[in-house]
Amino acid sequence: MKISRFLTLAVVFVALAACKPKGAGAADGDGKDAGLQPVAVVNGQAITRATFDFYVQAATGQPSASLNAEQKQQALDALIRLQLVAAKAEKDGLSKGETAAAIELSRLDALQRAATESYLKDKTPTEQELKTEYDTQVAQMPRNEYRARHILVQTKEFADQILARLAKGEKFEALAKDSLDSSRDKGGDLGWFGPQAMVKPFADAVMALKKGETTAKPVQTQFGFHIIRLDDVREVQPPPFEQVKPQLTQVVLAKKFRAYGDELAKAAKVEKKLQ
């Protein structure tokens, strides 16, 4: 069951009107109380300035302050209709089952995003933390990249026939025209790749070859049977530290928040009942 994007947003807005994204603050007032001021009252239910600002930011990607008067009224009319439809749906008993689950997940997701921002706001990674993470990532990188060709066929029998033809001197590039893979148009050439880019049986076979060698027998994967030839190998150079600092920052922050979640889990009383 698919829930409308705007209905899902509305659920979050009503439940978490105070959790505004950056740039979605009250446009026409000062202080926290401005966000609690109603911009409309629908059947006795207030739509607050915070909810309106959040709606505009999420729906358009722009703060409400950037809209002209006509656009603001159009956005408010849309939010009013959305609230009316949502209220009618709830009155008709539609806020059950999968819809209730979607509402709850939206609420939890919004709370987690708010918790993430709050927890990490004063935990900017230090230079040493970034360098430690960089060293960890570099240590996990594959040492080499490979350039290989392959011929993919459906059966082992056909693969064995191709190997026999190669042994008789036929060109790999010519036989690659029978491959099921789109690389057949390039003589089976896969270009440069790291082992992590390929399924394990394929990657293991490539790394076991020496430059210029072809697999002695077909390599089976979920795609079929491969005959592989290793054309070249080159050493991987890690990107400069300064170049990847933004990505490292995100990784370190994610690890910090994961550790925070782990601490909460350890302190919680959890009873799992999933069968």
The predicted-structure confidence for 228-244, as pLDDT tens digits, reads as follows: 999 999 999 999 999 99
Indicate the residue type of 222: Q
Q: How many angstroms from the chain centroid is the CA of residue 221?
A: 26
Yes or no: say if 190 and 145 are a contact pair by the CB < 8 Å rule.
no
What's the pLDDT tens digit per position in 94-142? 999 999 999 999 999 999 999 999 999 999 999 999 999 999 999 999 8
Cα–Cα dist 74/80, whole Å? 10
Indicate the residue type of 152: L
Cα-flanking dihedrals φ and ψ of residue 191, to 5°?
Answer: 70, -165
Cα–Cα dist 114/105, whole Å? 14
Cα–Cα dist 247/102, whole Å? 31
44: left (phi over 0), alpha (psi -120 to 50) or beta: left
CATH number listed for the domain at residues 143-235: 3.10.50.40
Distances (CA, A) of 185 to 189, 193, 222, 267: 9, 18, 22, 58
Structure tokens at 109: 């997701």
Other C-beta atoms closer than 10 Å to the C-beta of 146 total 24
Cα–Cα dist 54/64, whole Å? 8
- Which residues 6+ apart lie within 8 Å of 103 measured at CB? 11, 95
Yes or no: say if 154 and 178 are a contact pair by the CB < 8 Å rule.
no
- CA-nearest of 175, 176, 204 to 190 is 176
Per-residue pLDDT of the chain (275 residues; tens, 9 = 90+): 333 443 444 444 444 333 444 444 444 445 457 778 999 999 999 999 999 999 999 999 999 999 999 999 999 999 999 999 999 999 999 999 999 999 999 999 999 999 999 999 999 999 999 999 999 999 999 899 999 999 999 999 999 999 999 999 999 999 999 999 999 999 999 999 999 999 999 999 999 999 999 999 999 999 999 999 999 999 999 999 999 999 999 999 999 999 999 999 999 999 999 98
Q: List the domain boundaries for the chain.
A: 5-120, 127-137+239-267, 143-235
Cα–Cα dist 44/38, whole Å? 11
Distances (CA, A) of 172 to 168, 175, 209, 244: 11, 5, 16, 39
- Which residues 6+ apart lie within 8 Å of 75 measured at CB? 52, 55, 56, 59, 60, 64, 67
